[in-house]
Structure 1
Amino acid sequence: MTSVDKYTIELEKTLKGFSALAQDTRLRTFCLLMKAGPDGLPAGKIANTLDVTPNKLTAHLNVLTDADLLNVERQGRNMIYSVNRDEIATLMRRFTENCCEGAPECAGELVSEA
């Protein structure tokens, strides 16, 4: 695989991750799950907390899961969703590498200003 091919694949993954978060319900879902920690939450609890119908939430959870931003695990009758923290770290690394050309201090200044 050439460096151009690798760059293209990495860019596509980065775009997919950020695109998945670029919608109100999905971003609120993601934030709720970040706060929930590694144990995550059942889909029903997410739907109730965000006041979203289960069918609509399922579609949003599928987008986030397809982008590898969420983990999903069946526990009995419940589907438990949690943030894929490894993928989030990778997403931020790719963002830094692509936008800052590998200079982490570029993003560090932005983060410290927020």
Structure 2
Amino acid sequence: MESDNVILALAALAQSTRLDVFRLLVKHAPEGLAAGDIARTLAVPQNTMSSHLSVLSRAGLVSAQRFSRSIVYRADLARFRAVVLFMLRDCCDGRPEICAPLIESLTPCCQPKPKRKAQTHV
């Protein structure tokens, strides 16, 4: 990933409404939400929300898909992952003593839930 792309993504998230939009879309991944639902949930006028969604789209953090008369937006988690990995790899410069504590602090919140084994009845 290029520095310019990371700067664009971080700049898009550096505004409170856009950060709220992205967080909301992550919570609704992978289904996404219609633009009107996003605006209503966050109590933002639709024309203002349209501008915020455009900024997030240009940064590659959200994608849009038209369904009939509505547009459904989804967080682009792969792009967000690329931004975060760029920051970790670039800033840590391959030094595990710097990166390891950062990654370790993420682990408790992001553990996949263990799959329950099917119980067999005898």
TM over 0.5: yes
Q: Supply the distance in 2 between the matched residues of 1:79 and 1:108 (Cα, whole angstroms).
A: 40
As a proportion of its length, which structure holds more helix?
1
Alignment of 1:1-114 (within 5 A): 10-103=2-95, 106-113=98-105
Moved over 6 A (4+): none
Shift of 1:82: 0.4
Q: Supply the distance in 2 between the matched residues of 1:26 and 1:34 (Cα, whole angstroms).
A: 12
In terms of Rg, which structure is larger?
Answer: 2
When the two chains are superposed, the root-mean-square deviation of aligned CA atoms in Å is 1.7
Shift of 1:108: 3.9
Count of residue pairs the alignment pairs up: 106
- Evaluate the alpha carbon distance shift between residue 89 and residue 58 of structure 1 in structure 2; reply closer, same or farther with a 3 A threshold: same
Q: Supply the distance in 2 between the matched residues of 1:79 and 1:56 (Cα, whole angstroms).
A: 15
CA contact under 8 A between 1:69 and 1:83: conserved in structure 2?
A: yes
Q: Supply the distance in 2 between the matched residues of 1:104 and 1:88 (Cα, whole angstroms).
A: 22
CA contact under 8 A between 1:43 and 1:81: conserved in structure 2?
A: yes
Q: What are structure 1's unaligned runs of at least 5 residues?
A: 1-8
Percent of residue pairs identical: 36
SS of match in other structure, 2:56: helix
TM-score, with normalisation over the residues of structure 1? 0.85
How far does the alpha carbon of each residue in 1:78-114 deviate from its partner, in whole angstroms, 9 at most, with x for none?
Answer: 0000011111111111111221113466334125447
> In terms of mean alpha carbon deviation, does 95-104 or 77-86 score higher?
95-104
Q: Supply the distance in 1 between the matched residues of 2:37 and 2:95 (Cα, whole angstroms).
A: 40
SS of match in other structure, 2:88: helix
- Evaluate the alpha carbon distance shift between residue 13 and residue 46 of structure 1 in structure 2; reply closer, same or farther with a 3 A threshold: same
